[in-house]
Structure 1
Amino acid sequence: MPFAAHHRRNSKRPLPLDTLLTSQVPRGNYLHILEDKQRLQLKKFLLHRMFLVASIQANVEKKEIAEYYDQVFQSILKHHLGEVVTGLLLIYPTSLLHILESSNGTLHQILLDYFNGEKNKTEFWVQKMKIIVISHNIPTRLFIQWYVSVVKVPVLYLDDVTKSQSLEEVITDFFIQTHKLALYIFKTVKVGSRGPGDNLHQTAPDLLPAEQIIKYLCKSEELMDPATFVKLYSKPLHVISDAEVVWPAPSSF
């Protein structure tokens, strides 16, 4: 009997090769899929996009504005390596539209620099800046690099939509128009070039937001200014967990 039992144990067939391989293959999850996707896109940080509008002094020059932002970007890049800023800066006669794409930390530093400049300088050339929206964790960039373009002639419409439409409708049309403008620049501007130039009012007049829209958004009290955003961003969150809640609540007699 012992010999027969030993013979039965040794006579077992080896497990199929497919079974062995299946047991050794690691099982992935959704987190691994997201991490692999980030590696394939060569992303070192999550990408965000911010839309800003502001009023500017009438006598300020394009060169001065471009140099200001170049210095801000270079200063931030020293502390946020590899987090390059791309986007578009449209300079109107008395206002500007700025679209920025970069990391969350870089965008926060840009707002902080404006907030400090407005607080320390009595006559800062950028005024009434408002944040239209900040889109978090966007999949790709709309712009290959950072462009500056001057709108030399006022872009106006016969009908003032700011009087007939709500703020939500104005912002919706604003985003549709700027998105079409970004796609136009992406398709027409070559990599490494200086940008679309200062003739967008001739090549794509229907894609440029009217300056009256920019001024309307700058005056809107419903939109957040950088000072309020920076304060909320720096404010710590006080979260009360369930373990900290005692019921019934203690009371004094």
Structure 2
Amino acid sequence: MSFSVHNRKTSKKPYPLEPLLLPQVPRSNYLHFQEEKQRLQLKKFLLNRMFLVARIEVNVERKEIVEYYEEVFHTISKQHLGEAVTGLLLIYPTSLLLILESSSGTLYRIISDYIGHKKNEIEYFIQEMKIVVISHNIPTRFFMQWHVSVIKVPVMYLDDVTQSQSLKEVITEFLTQTHKLSLHLCKTAKVGTKGPGNNLHQSVPDLLLSEQIIKYLCKSEELMDPATFINMYDRPIDVTLDSEVVWPAPSCF
């Protein structure tokens, strides 16, 4: 008895290959990173700090300067809700030092108001305002509220040190002294109080900035005035680069 064996050919159909899945790497940009950072810190806007110096008229009442800035802050706060302005205003006999902390939009409105007064009034009581430096996206505020201090007694110096210093050295000293003073007020000033008062020249004379430095910065042509800053701020960024210009210009045949 013989058995016949039939060889079955098993058909091996190729299984469909699964599509290759490339690793999905989350991509973001710097703007998203900053927005997420602000969200985690429960911030509604990026915080900026601006340092300003200006010359004031001798016969101007110091109360008039204080009322002017308080009125500006109150007007802007109606349109920029939740963007409070904190900082320090030091009023010297013939000049002032201004430190502002708020959003970029609020700071823009403050210096724009100054430009409007300069255009409409021939002799405005604030003159030769200069922007010393602007710090963007600072982590925290130095001041929890708005402080004003009138320096009634001028600080006397043996000689004018700005005559032998460069602009870089003067700005370095300016930032160093204002930083030390801001740290001192941040530690000592309590929320809800009127601030340091008008006796800083007696309590912390070594932390006060010399008025000679403020006058030097007001006359500096290298520092930017508010009008120049606003013009640069409003200038469009989609400018034509030299590399995009083809020369000679294409002509039609």
Conserved 8 A contact 1:156-1:212: no
RMSD of the alignment, in Å? 2.5
Aligned amino acid, residue 156 of structure 2: L
Contact 1:56 1:126 in 2 (8 A): yes
- Report the TM-score, using the length of structure 1 for normalisation: 0.82
SS of 2:197's equivalent in the other structure is coil
2:190 counterpart residue number: 190
Give the CA deviation at 1:243: 11
Cα distance between partner residues in 2 of 1:243 and 1:135: 32
Q: Give the aligned partner of residue 46 of structure 2.
A: 46
Query: 2: distance between equivalents of 1:240 and 1:99?
Result: 36
| SS, match of residue 195 in structure 1 | coil
Q: What whole-Å deviation, never above 9, does each CA across 1:166-189 have from its counterpart, x for those lacking one?
A: 000010011000000000001111
Aligned-residue offset at 1:247: 8.2
Shift of 1:249: 5.0
Displacement of 1:239:
3.3
Residue correspondence of structure 1 range 131-150 to structure 2 within 5 A: 131-150=131-150
Q: 1:216 to 1:192 in 2, by over 3 A?
A: same
Kindly provide the amino acid, as one letter, of the partner of residue 218 in structure 2: C
Distance 2:121 2:85 in 1: 25
Taking the TM superposition and a 5 Å limit, the aligned residue runs for 1:1-253 are 34-240=34-240, 249-251=249-251
**C-alpha distance in 2 between matches for 1:77 and 1:93:** 29
- 1:232 offset after TM fit, Å? 1.5
Give the Cα separation in 2 of the matches to 1:244 and 1:232: 22
Structure 1 unaligned blocks of 5 or more: 1-25
Aligned counterpart, 1:12: none
User: Which one has the largest radius of gyration?
Assistant: 2
1:137-178 CA-to-partner distances (Å, cap 9, x unmatched) read 111111111100000111233232211110000100110000
Distance in 1 (CA, whole Å) between partners of 2:223 and 2:241 is 32
Count of residues in Structure 1 that have an aligned counterpart in Structure 2: 228
Residues 222 and 241 (structure 1), Cα distance of their counterparts in 2 relative to 1, 3 Å cut: closer
Normalising by structure 2, report the TM-score.
Answer: 0.82
Task: State the one-letter code of the partner of 2:166.
Answer: S
SS at match of 2:206: helix
Counterparts of 2:179 and 2:26, CA distance in 1: 40
CA gap 1:190/1:112 in 2 versus in 1, 3 angstroms = same
For 1:102 and 1:173, how far apart are their aligned partners in 2? 24
Q: Given that residues 161 and 170 in structure 1 are in contact (C-alpha distance below 8 angstroms), is that contact kept between their aligned partners in structure 2?
A: no
Mapped partners of 1:44, 1:118: distance in 2: 32
Which residue is equivalent to 2:17? none
SS at match of 1:90: strand
Distance in 2 separating the partners of 1:29 and 1:113 = 37
- The answer to which structure has the higher helix fraction is 1
1:241 deviates by 8.3
